[in-house]
Structure 1
Amino acid sequence: MSKIASLVPESLKSSKPSLIRVLNNKYGSDPEMVNLTVGEPDFKTADHVKLAAIKSILDDHTHYPHNWGTPGLRNAISQYLARHFDLHYDPEGEIFVTEGASGAISTIINGLCEPGDVVLVPCPAYTLYRINAELCNAQAVELETSAPDFKVTPQLLKEALDKYGDKVKVLVLNYPVNPTGVTYTPDELRALADLLKNYNVAILDDEIYADLLYEGEHLSMAKLLPDQTLYVNGVSKNAAMTGWRVGYICGPRDVLKALAKVHQAAISTNATMNMDAAQEALLHGDEDTAKMKAEYDRRRKFLMAAMDKIGFEYTKPKGAFYLWVKVPDGFDGDSMAYAEHLAEKAKVAVVPAAAFTKLPVRYFRISYAASMEKLQKAVDGLAKVFAQDQAD
């Protein structure tokens, strides 16, 4: 052990890495495995977006940009949100750019939370909310949503808000939801907003999958409670730009002014050419997104039909690119054990519920951000194992 090992805080020592990444690293290099773990678009970034980045470099956009993001990108974000979601943010003071939506989440939680504060997280949920809360010695409180829809209700939320009182700094609201693919109807959101307006709590409104909604209408919580909402989005999912690391936060200018200090201290700013590429995607990429969305919807319908035929129970997804599948009742083990069972017997790598909640939820996530060829191979393997298990 090194001399300085004792200086590492216990909160960091006890924090566990993302199980999604652990499983991807474990199975990603196995040529026989159908790896459906990571939620990353399998499409290429559009050529016109790549060319924008190349032009940016050739035009010598290679120096420090504004630490809130380039004016061009902030204007593009403002136009994009107004065009798609009827959200209206001033590029000067109500928008700043982060390193992906992950950077936005980290900035908000680390900026607002102090030791002992509470972050409410409806679960199952993307693990980064909990990890960031724990790293700043705040308490991540999992709100146990229930099957079949796994959505937080006003009653459940009120109980938590009243129980933890002034300790609650942040409520996480992510929809369409990772990992379930469900979303909230406008009426459900209005009901939550009617409750939340009575509490002094910040809403971390993660809408990174908002462009990938296949059924229903998307209404942003930022539209209903702009004074309490920190809106998070990016270009990773809707423009297949995960590796470009461009996200953003929109919200009240007084809060963003403070959060920008946290982001500047940790990151300084994003890369200029990446922001120029994101600007092009937001201004001229609607057709690209529409094509990807249509293909994801085709895969979604294929998987649902396949699960129905095999006999798996699942939560019907209306957005994102995930299927939340129930571990069969006859299996003697938790979600992690079943994921290992599928990897061994079906050669299909999925993510167990244990990656998204500490609660004993017996489900697993399939990412259909994969080719139809891979999905067909996965379905064949799942069908075989399901039938074998039923026969045993």
Structure 2
Amino acid sequence: MNPQAEELNKIIREKNPVIFELLSEKGKNIFFPKKGILGQTADAKGTKINATIGAAVEDNGSPMRLESIESNVKLDPSLVFPYAPSFGRPDIRARWKSMIYEKNPSIGNKVLSLPVVTNALTHGVSMAGYLFVDEGEKVIVPDLFWGNYNLILNHAYGAELQKYKLFKGNQLDLDAFKASLEADGIGKKILILNFPNNPTGYSPTIEEAKAITQIIKESAEKGNKIVVFSDDAYFGLVYEEGVETESIFSQLCDLHENVLAVKIDGPTKEDYVWGFRVGFMTYGIKGGDAELYTALEAKTAGAVRGNISNAANISQSLLLAAFEDPAYQAQKEAKFTIMNERYHAVKEVLKDEKYNEYFTALPYNSGYFMCVQLADGLDGELIRKILIEKYSIGIINLSNVIRVAFSAVAAADVKELFDGIYNACKDSKK
């Protein structure tokens, strides 16, 4: 093992040996290289002639660039063309951390790590898998989950997805969740919580969030060592009263010394910048301090460097400029209003009981999506094809659960959408 990895492991073991046990073999071996090329480059910063970094510069010292690209970007070239650090730009890391506290006031004065920048949330989940998942280990997920978890955690890292039933009636199946966490006895547990959930668009009520937290706490008190990946891709998009508006991370980040909370989030869905590919990983654990978190950040940045080197500088710069724009919050609220209208248009249309002949809505209250469960005897794949060919409507079929992205449907088109699904169901029976 590299001495720099051993140095980080020593800090983690001294601060909280549970975290060391939660690390995968890759996670234990990874480090951010302070020596070698990066260390020598850092030492040379500010020199008159700097021939260390693998980037080209103009004779005046500014980043070398093509005018055909620069002419389309308003930002200063220094914020666009050079590499960003593997940890992410310090300014956007600090700003995102302050925004986590602003958006989740119940965190209060709990101590968190500084977020590490990833190439959006998919990469964040992958880096969490790199750091905490060994081949053959189980990752606890609901039976309705984002399909990319399969590619990332199962196919890339060899984990087994251990599924539990998400719903019981119109509520979360907390008994199934608890049973899944208790399966296989006391030991290491890896858990993903994704709220608002993709594909269902469901977030826990305030009481359900408290119950989830209590179940995890009781599990930790029994001796389980738990790492929770909080996939907050759709954070902030809650459309009903009584639904928890904060991330479940808020309740987990200081819950117990046996529970490491990993917040995986970013502006992709929150700020409607799908192509920017910027995300963040933030850590929280009871008793966590700056030294422990610095070690975890270094391992995370090492994993990022060994995987993609660093996230795009221009995306980080554009986002930071937006966050500091006085109009930013009002613009977000305006887009939320549109999303809220689309959600309520779906709710209104589905009051028509005629649809119950062929499908019923699964619980939904937030996010980008909602799902309907097809009645027995219907073929979701056939219906999907009929919708495209006859009605020019696109949906996602998930084993006879149809996912509808109302985020991409104008409120005025919602009735046509569900009438199309209804008619395609009827057509499929002929």
TM-score range, shorter chain: 0.7 to 0.9
Aligned to 2:378: 332
8 Å contact from structure 2 (residues 268, 276) kept in 1: yes
SS in 1 for 2:145: coil
SS in 2 for 1:142: strand
Q: Are 1:384 and 2:404 matched, yes or no?
A: no
SS in 1 for 2:407: coil
Aligned to 1:132: 152
Which amino acid is the alignment partner of residue 144 of structure 1?
Answer: K
Q: Are 1:349 and 2:394 matched, yes or no?
A: yes
Aligned to 2:35: none
State the alpha-carbon separation in 1 of the partners of residues 372 and 312 from structure 2.
38
Task: Identify if the C-alpha distance between structure 1 residues 156 and 365 changes in structure 2 by more than 3 Å, giving closer, same or farther.
Answer: same
8 Å contact from structure 2 (residues 378, 425) kept in 1: no
8 Å contact from structure 1 (residues 104, 247) kept in 2: yes
Alpha-carbon displacement from aligned partner over 1:248-296 (angstroms, at most 9, x marks no partner): 1111414333232212210111111100112233344222221111111
State the alpha-carbon separation in 2 of the partners of residues 89 and 221 from structure 1.
16
Q: Compare 176-185 and 282-291 and name the one that shifted more.
A: 282-291
Q: Are 1:174 and 2:219 matched, yes or no?
A: no
State the alpha-carbon separation in 1 of the partners of residues 384 and 187 from structure 2.
36
> How many residues end up aligned between the 2 structures?
330
Kindly, what percent of the aligned residue pairs are identical?
A: 19
Q: Are 1:85 and 2:104 matched, yes or no?
A: yes
SS in 2 for 1:191: helix
8 Å contact from structure 1 (residues 99, 247) kept in 2: yes
How far is the alpha carbon of 1:149 from its aligned partner? 3.9
Which amino acid is the alignment partner of residue 141 of structure 1?
Answer: Q
Larger radius of gyration: 2
Task: Identify if the C-alpha distance between structure 1 residues 387 and 179 changes in structure 2 by more than 3 Å, giving closer, same or farther.
Answer: same
Which amino acid is the alignment partner of residue 384 of structure 1?
Answer: N
State the alpha-carbon separation in 2 of the partners of residues 268 and 89 from structure 1.
33
Alpha-carbon displacement from aligned partner over 1:132-152 (angstroms, at most 9, x marks no partner): 221211111111223544735
Aligned to 2:58: none
Aligned to 1:289: 332
The aligned runs of 1:196-345 (5 Å cut-off) are 196-197=216-217, 198=220, 199-215=224-240, 216-227=243-254, 228-252=260-284, 253=293, 254-284=295-325, 285-309=328-352, 310-311=354-355, 312-329=359-376, 331-333=377-379, 335-345=380-390
Task: Identify if the C-alpha distance between structure 1 residues 316 and 301 changes in structure 2 by more than 3 Å, giving closer, same or farther.
Answer: farther
Task: Identify if the C-alpha distance between structure 1 residues 193 and 256 changes in structure 2 by more than 3 Å, giving closer, same or farther.
Answer: farther
Aligned to 2:93: 74
8 Å contact from structure 2 (residues 120, 277) kept in 1: yes
Aligned to 1:37: none
Aligned to 1:365: 403
Alpha-carbon displacement from aligned partner over 1:27-59 (angstroms, at most 9, x marks no partner): xxxxxxxxxxxxxxxxxxxxxxxxxx9343444
State the alpha-carbon separation in 1 of the partners of residues 184 and 427 from structure 2.
47
How far is the alpha carbon of 1:212 from its aligned partner? 0.8
State the alpha-carbon separation in 2 of the partners of residues 174 and 60 from structure 1.
33
State the alpha-carbon separation in 1 of the partners of residues 374 and 171 from structure 2.
15
Task: Identify if the C-alpha distance between structure 1 residues 292 and 113 changes in structure 2 by more than 3 Å, giving closer, same or farther.
Answer: same
Stretches of structure 2 that go unaligned for 5 or more consecutive residues are 1-71, 255-259, 285-292
Q: Are 1:102 and 2:145 matched, yes or no?
A: no
State the alpha-carbon separation in 1 of the partners of residues 378 and 190 from structure 2.
37
State the alpha-carbon separation in 2 of the partners of residues 194 and 92 from structure 1.
21
State the alpha-carbon separation in 1 of the partners of residues 364 and 391 from structure 2.
23
Which amino acid is the alignment partner of residue 293 of structure 1?
Answer: F
SS in 2 for 1:323: strand
With normalisation by structure 1, the TM-score equals 0.76
> Greater relative contact order: 1 or 2 (C-alpha under 8 angstroms, separation 6 or more)?
1
Task: Identify if the C-alpha distance between structure 1 residues 371 and 222 changes in structure 2 by more than 3 Å, giving closer, same or farther.
Answer: closer
RMSD: 2.7
8 Å contact from structure 1 (residues 229, 251) kept in 2: yes
How far is the alpha carbon of 1:226 from its aligned partner? 0.8
Which amino acid is the alignment partner of residue 364 of structure 1?
Answer: I
Task: Identify if the C-alpha distance between structure 1 residues 91 and 166 changes in structure 2 by more than 3 Å, giving closer, same or farther.
Answer: closer
Alpha-carbon displacement from aligned partner over 1:118-139 (angstroms, at most 9, x marks no partner): 1111120111222222121111
Task: Identify if the C-alpha distance between structure 1 residues 191 and 146 changes in structure 2 by more than 3 Å, giving closer, same or farther.
Answer: closer
SS in 2 for 1:187: helix
Task: Identify if the C-alpha distance between structure 1 residues 332 and 108 changes in structure 2 by more than 3 Å, giving closer, same or farther.
Answer: same
8 Å contact from structure 2 (residues 80, 314) kept in 1: yes
With normalisation by structure 2, the TM-score equals 0.70
Task: Identify if the C-alpha distance between structure 1 residues 223 and 348 changes in structure 2 by more than 3 Å, giving closer, same or farther.
Answer: same
How far is the alpha carbon of 1:164 from its aligned partner? 2.8
How far is the alpha carbon of 1:349 from its aligned partner? 1.6
Which amino acid is the alignment partner of residue 206 of structure 2?
Answer: P
Which amino acid is the alignment partner of residue 268 of structure 1?
Answer: S
